[in-house]
Every structure is written in structure tokens, then in C-alpha cells.
Structure 1
Amino acid sequence: MKQVFTLLVLTFVLGACQTVDGNSIDDINQNDKGYQVIFFSNEDYLEYEGNYYDVLLDLKKQYPKETVNIIIVQSSSNNKLVEHFNVEEYPTLIIQKDGEIISTLAGVYDKEIIYESILNVINE
């Protein structure tokens, strides 16, 4: 029950982020200019995703949509985006700039590591 409540709160708060189900590559515009932070979430691994969601909330507050576009992909076993981006582990965070993948972070990490990894790429 706690996980369901947490998921509902995160869904509400992250409503400003783009959420896609991942059944189409077109869900993510590969030609977008600027940064795209793509977070691959899987309901089987929700207990490991909290730090990522916290960092994404902070990032959304710090950077306007024009600077950093945050996309959350709800992953499933039959997911074209998971295949396209070769996601093998959850949670996974991919950062693109102008359609090119420039950084990938997969697995369980502290908030500080996740946040620094994103900021190091964005502030280059």
C-alpha cells in the first residue's frame, strides 16, 4: 500500500514531466534540441527508484523545460524504447543532447551520485 501511495504522489508531482509508455520510438523526439533526461522505470523495481525520482524533482525545479526535458518511460517486457536504448537494468537514466546519448546511469545509487552525474553532463 505504501508503494502505491508513493507512486501516486510521484506521478502527481512529476506531472510536469513527460511520461510515455514506450510502445513507440516516436514517443521520444530524437531530433529535439537541448537536453533530454530519459528515466526508465519498472514497477518491479519501485523500491530502488526513489532516489532517482527525488533528483528528477529537484532537477525539474532548477531547470525550466526549455533547458532540460525530463521523460519518464514506464517500462514493460514488450517495450520498443527499452529495446531501442538497450536498457538491461532498472532503474536506468539516459541523458541525450541534441538527439545524441551522452551519458547513461544504471542501477541503484545515492541521490548525490545521481544528481552530480546529471549536473556534470548538463553543465559541461
Structure 2
Amino acid sequence: MARFALITIIMPVLFLTSCSAYDFASPSNGRIKAKDKQIFFFSDEENIDKETKYYDALLDIKQKYPKEVRQMKVYQTEQKNPLQNHTFPSLVVIDNNQVIVKINGFVKSKEEIVRPITKALSN
């Protein structure tokens, strides 16, 4: 009986208290509360070959903003995500509960990704 109480009461409490510092708002409003700018990458693992420009861009961005790229949240197509994004691939930067940059779908060059993302991270 004590083991059942441990599993049903204490384990969920421990799990919830060990969550990250990010406070996700209601998914229905598509807003996220984070203390710093946050990058989100939405990937389609079935079409990963079409995402090479995104990966190349992220490598360039990582050189100047390693912390932000290291803390980037990655979501696959089958995962529910706090932004309710349904376009893959996509890169989104959030600051003060606002989407400040969103790049999605096909791009001609990695510079179409690098320029707006680095500008958003530098402000």
C-alpha cells in the first residue's frame, strides 16, 4: 500500500518540480513564456533530406549564438508542440511571449534563415 502511495502521489510531484525553467502558456493561445529568447525547430524526419539548408543555417548560427542553439527546442511532426506549428521544416524565435521570427517551408539558401534569426537573437 505504501508503494502505491509513493507511485501515485510522490512521483508525479517530483516529476513536475523537476521541469525546466520555461513556463509554457496554454497551447491554444500559441504563446510561450521564457526568460530568454528561445529558438524552436520543427522537423519532419520523413523528409529530413529537404531540411539541409536549415541544418546548415543552424551550424552558422551556432558559431555566434552557441547558448541559444544549445537550448533550442526541437519538435518532430508527430509531437504536439506549444506553438501548434504544422509547417515543416520551421524555425521560430520567441521573445517576451511573441513570435519575433518565423521561417517555414522551402528556402532557396541558408542565408534566408541565417539573416533573420541572427538579427532576432542580436536585438
Identity %: 29
1:96: Cα distance to partner?
A: 0.5
1:42: Cα distance to partner?
A: 1.0
Q: TM-score, normalised by structure 1?
A: 0.63
Q: Where does 1:1-124 land on structure 2 (aligned, <5 Å)?
A: 29=22, 30-65=32-67, 69-76=71-78, 79-81=79-81, 84-109=82-107, 110-124=109-123
Q: TM-score, normalised by structure 2?
A: 0.64
- RMSD (Å) for aligned C-alpha atoms: 2.5
The whole-number CA distance in structure 1 between the counterparts of 2:21 and 2:97 is 9
The whole-number CA distance in structure 2 between the counterparts of 1:69 and 1:121 is 16
The whole-number CA distance in structure 2 between the counterparts of 1:119 and 1:97 is 13
Moved more, 26-35 or 108-117: 26-35
1:113/1:69 CA distance change after superposition, 3 Å: same
- Aligned residue pair count: 95
User: Hey, which bits of structure 1, 4+ residues long, moved more than 4 A?
Assistant: none
Structure 2 segments unaligned to the other structure (5+ residues): 1-18, 23-31
The whole-number CA distance in structure 2 between the counterparts of 1:119 and 1:90 is 20
CA contact (8 A) 2:43 2:74 kept: yes
1:85: Cα distance to partner?
A: 1.6
1:42/1:66 CA distance change after superposition, 3 Å: closer
